[in-house]
Amino acid sequence: MRAERIVELIVKIAFGADVRTNLFAKGTIAVPLVWLCALSAYAQTAGAPTAKAKPVPGTVEQLEVTDYGIYTANKTASVTNDKGLTHNTVNNIQYIAATRTIRAHPGIKFGFRYMILGRPEDARVTIRQVTLFPPQGITSPKTGLLHDHSFSAVYRIGMSGIFAGYDVDEPWELVPGKWTIQLWVDDRKLAEESFALVIPQEPSN
């Protein structure tokens, strides 16, 4: 089919069958104009950006604990909440010792690492960490007696080496007794580890 015939069909669709004579009577400028409009409309349709895919929610089947005890890490950021408790963002986590007895001192980091098992792979899930303090609680200078602390974070199914733990940053957090760290997905508790914090005795003179 010749180009003139193609243009004629486009003109008939756009303007009606009787427009061709008047349109072409104005000279050759009208032909590329109609053709350009048709190509432009196609380009806008073909090149229109598509909406970005939203993160797919996943189903957690298990949180598998891989190690527990004492760790070190590099602190990259810290946020203190209204209770006076600090949440640290860390990297380069190093496993130091497998133990459930923690000799408490400022700067000690204890807890466990785990991996997320579920489906589909790489889907996003929200994990809530709850730290239960010893029965007597700990006393924050800001708000007084505290019995627990919790926060949530989003991870991907299939991730491993995720650290769930507690950093003793302040002297008033040095409370001996049973400390328990739990991991929850919605209303399901999927992991729990407990540690006994002990205060080292100072040598007597």
Q: What integer pLDDT is reported at residue 134 of this predicted model?
A: 97
What was the pLDDT predicted at 34? Answer: 36
Burial of 75: CB neighbours in 10 Å, binned 0-12, 13-18, 19+? middle
H/E element, 61: strand 59-80
**CA triple 99-104-107, angle to 5 deg:** 100
pLDDT of residue 204: 59
pLDDT value at position 54?
Answer: 61
- Return the axis-axis angle of helices 30-46 and 3-15, rounded to nearest 10°: 80
The number of CA neighbours under 13 Å toward the Cβ of 45 is 6
Q: Residues of the chain whose pLDDT is less than 70?
A: 1-56, 203-205
Amino acid at 148: D
Supply the pLDDT for residue 205.
Answer: 58
User: What CATH code is assigned to 59-198?
Assistant: 2.60.40.2390
pLDDT of residue 49: 44
Q: What per-residue confidence (pLDDT) applies to 55? A: 61
| Ramachandran angles phi, psi of 126, nearest 5° | -105, 125
As beta bridge partners, residue 77 has 89
Residue 29 is predicted with a pLDDT of: 39
Q: In this predicted structure, what is the pLDDT of residue 36? A: 36
Residue 52, burial from CB neighbour count under 10 angstroms (0-12, 13-18, 19+): exposed
Would you list the DSSP string of the chain?
--HHHHHHHHHHHHH-GGGHHHHHTT-TTHHHHHHHHHHHHHHHHHTPPPPPPPPPB-EEEEEEEEEEEEEEEEEEEEEE-TTS-EEEEEEEEEEEE--SEEE--TT-EEEEEEEEEEESTT-EEEEEEEEEPPTT-EEETTTEEE-EEEEEEEEETT---EEEEEE--SGGG---EEEEEEEEETTEEEEEEEEEEEPPPPPP-
Tell me: the pLDDT tens digits for 172-183?
A: 999 999 999 999
pLDDT of residue 154: 95
